[in-house]
Amino acid sequence: MKPTRTQELNAVFFTALSHRRRQMLCEILLRHAPNGLSFGMLQRQSGLKISTLTHHLRFMYQGGILKRKQKGREAWISVDAERLFQLSNAFGADVARNTRKAGLMNDPAANPAMVANRI
């Protein structure tokens, strides 16, 4: 069976956030939303080497969660919060739809929300 287009997009999205440093970068940029930070400011705040920062930003761009704007001689980077929200909600909706189809929504072991509501 071949992965669907949605599954391919989800894989790229989750790769964009699959590393702790990428999650850190996302958090830093979200704190400076909506304007973001220049590359140099992001490098200083993250404490990452330029090559390491560039490496992780590449995955985040590929995942579609970053925006880049040129301001004079500086590249400014920001999180596309709307896209981040859409992708994460779409994945959650797919999970809910598939678990309902499989009859798992009434199984507490497969539905953490049921367990959380009992506590």
Angle at which helices 5-16 and 81-101 cross, to 10°? 130
Domain borders along the chain are 5-118
Per-residue confidence (pLDDT) for residue 105, from 0 to 100? 55
DSSP state of 70: E
Low-confidence stretches of the chain (pLDDT < 70) are 102-119
CA angle 81, 85, 88 (to 5 degrees): 135
The helix/strand count (H/E) of the chain reads as 6, 3
Per-residue confidence (pLDDT) for residue 104, from 0 to 100? 56
- b/e 18-29 (16+ beta carbons within 10 angstroms → b): eeeebeebbebb
The model scores a pTM over 0.95: no
- Please name the fold of domain 5-118: Arc Repressor Mutant, subunit A (1.10.10)
Q: Are 111 and 105 in contact (CB under 8 A)?
A: yes
Q: Which amino acid is at 116?
A: A
Per-residue confidence (pLDDT) for residue 108, from 0 to 100? 61
Per-residue confidence (pLDDT) for residue 109, from 0 to 100? 60
Per-residue confidence (pLDDT) for residue 27, from 0 to 100? 96
